[in-house]
Chains A and B, each alone.
Chain A
Amino acid sequence: MSLQFDRIRCDGHGLCAELLPEMIRLDDWGYPILEPGPVPGELLDHARQAVAKCPVLALRLLVARPQP
């Protein structure tokens, strides 16, 4: 499972970084920088929380799929 987010919908609320600081930090303007790679098992619940609590539903948890 990996995290992806809609960069256009993101408004820089920053809840995701509060709820999953191990994988998400904020840049100088409050927008998220995601740690690449799959979400480790022990963080999956926190990741789901972050996805559910995003005020604009920009964050998503997806089964990783290779893209052309």
Chain B
Amino acid sequence: MINSALLGGPDPGLGVETAASHLARLGPLPQVDTHLIDVLDRSGLRGRGGASYPVGSKWRSIAGSRRSPVVLANGAEGEPLSGKDRLLMQSRPHLVIDGAFLAASALRAREIVFYIGESHVAAGDAIRRALAERADAPAPARLVSAPPRYVAGEESAAVHSVNDAIALPQTTPPRPYQRGVGGRPTLVQNVETLAQVGLIARHGDAWFRGTGPDGAGGTALVTVSAGASWGRVLEVPRGARVAEVVAAVGRPTDGVAAVLLGGFFGSWVGAAEAWGLRLDSVALRGAGRSLGCGVVGLLGADECGVRVTAEIAAFLGEQSAQQCGPCVFGLRAIAEALGRISACRSQPHELARLRTWATEVRGRGACHHPDGAAGLVLSALDVFEEEFARHTQQRGCAWPPPPQGSTRWTS
């Protein structure tokens, strides 16, 4: 059931697909102009960076601008559990570059920037070498490194990095599509989304919607992970069920207590409810969930959801850009409270305070980092209600404590 559109061709684990193989498999890059935006509208393609914003609309908001725009291919991938962007860049760099070139042509951009996480060395090398092989760039292209920080991939932080070499989110408005790199309207688009554009421009919007002649429809890359130490990226058809995806990577479903859907920016779902969920951003949003960057994190039956949530909350607090009071102090208070609860040393009314802080911090940062942390914590309070009660009222945990200072999910 695994579809191979993005990752079709040679085994991605073997490294870079050469330009020759890429061209032989997919054909030449079509010449495009603004009509590509109509195609993207009809295709229904949504961004794969986490916000799932309709791509056609996003491009259209930039196409009409007076100043010539900039295309920023976002391969920062600051979410630790996600591996799809770096896999795509290091094995299919030409497809990612195709998408960026198509965007630059359709939007008449004056510059293309590939923003790649500095720790994703193979990905950066692959893109750099592939760019050197290309003679068809519609605009000058360059690479900029993203520091290995969680917020570095946020769109205003990406722009800030390119402009001033500092990956901190900035106050919006104006948002990048209005004023970004060099003060110009900037398209900040995830590299997987751009790769999808590279396919849609060749095969058409009908193919993407699932009515193409060979039956292949829209696909998505997801990372199934069990903590920070194990993860596998696979390409799945839109709407695949979580249970199918977990089975496809060979993980037994009965060993899973809960699923972290969307990464640290997402939310916990109880296993029973999770298996039937369809991995489609629109469907999930209707169910009050989010696909985010496509992470499906599996909490083992031998792990305590409270402890893992406390570990992730501490990480998110430390990863804050530290620019806004509510994020700095709110996330710190949340992490400290969760730490006490996790260690069975909670104070009276700690759960109620936790819920208040998480609810209050939402929407009060310059970026959505506090919102992500709040969503994670609030979902944990629901999904792990029993465990939280045990930790606070009985001051005990159903599982043996992990080794001191273990960071199974965030290292």
Contacts and interface: CB of A to CB of B under 8 A. Distances in A.
A33 B171 contact: no
A9 B171 CA distance: 9
B329 A29 contact: yes
Contact of B325 (A6, A29, A67, A68): A29
A42 interface: no
A12 interface: yes
A12 B61 CA distance: 35
B317 interface: no
B324 interface: yes
A68 B59 CA distance: 12
A38 interface: no
Contact of A12 (B53, B58, B171, B325): B325
Contacts of A67: 173, 175
B360 interface: yes
Contacts of B325: 10-12, 29-31
B357 to A, nearest CB: 8
Contacts of A7: 171, 323-324, 326, 364-366
Nearest to B57: A68
Given A7-B171, A8-B171, A67-B173, A29 B326 contact: yes
Interface in B289-332: 323-326, 329-330
Interface residues of B, number: 21
B170 interface: yes
A68 B357 CA distance: 28
Contacts of B53: 68
Interface residues of A, number: 15
Interface string B341-375: 00000000000000001001000111000000000
Nearest to B321: A8
A contact patch SS = loop
Contacts of A29: 325-326, 329-330
A23 B173 CA distance: 22
Nearest to B367: A7
B354 to A, nearest CB: 13
Given A8-B170, A28-B329, A33 B323 contact: no
Contacts of B364: 7, 27, 31, 33
A27 B326 contact: yes
A27 B360 CA distance: 8
Given A27-B360, A33-B364, A68-B61, A10 B329 contact: no
A8 B323 contact: yes
B366 A8 contact: yes
Interface in A9-41: 9-12, 27-31, 33
B324 to A, nearest CB: 4
Contacts of B324: 7-8, 10, 31
A59 to B, nearest CB: 13
A8 B366 CA distance: 6
Contacts of B330: 27, 29
24 contacts: A6-B366, A7-B171, A7-B324, A7-B364, A7-B365, A7-B366, A8-B171, A9-B171, A10-B325, A11-B325, A27-B326, A28-B333, A28-B357, A29-B325, A29-B330, A31-B324, A31-B325, A31-B364, A33-B360, A33-B364, A67-B173, A67-B175, A68-B57, A68-B58
Given A7-B366, A27-B364, 15 more contacts: A6-B366, A7-B171, A8-B324, A10-B324, A11-B325, A12-B325, A28-B333, A29-B330, A30-B325, A31-B364, A33-B360, A33-B364, A67-B173, A68-B53, A68-B61
The 4 closest A-B pairs by CB, nearest first: A31-B325, A29-B329, A7-B366, A7-B324
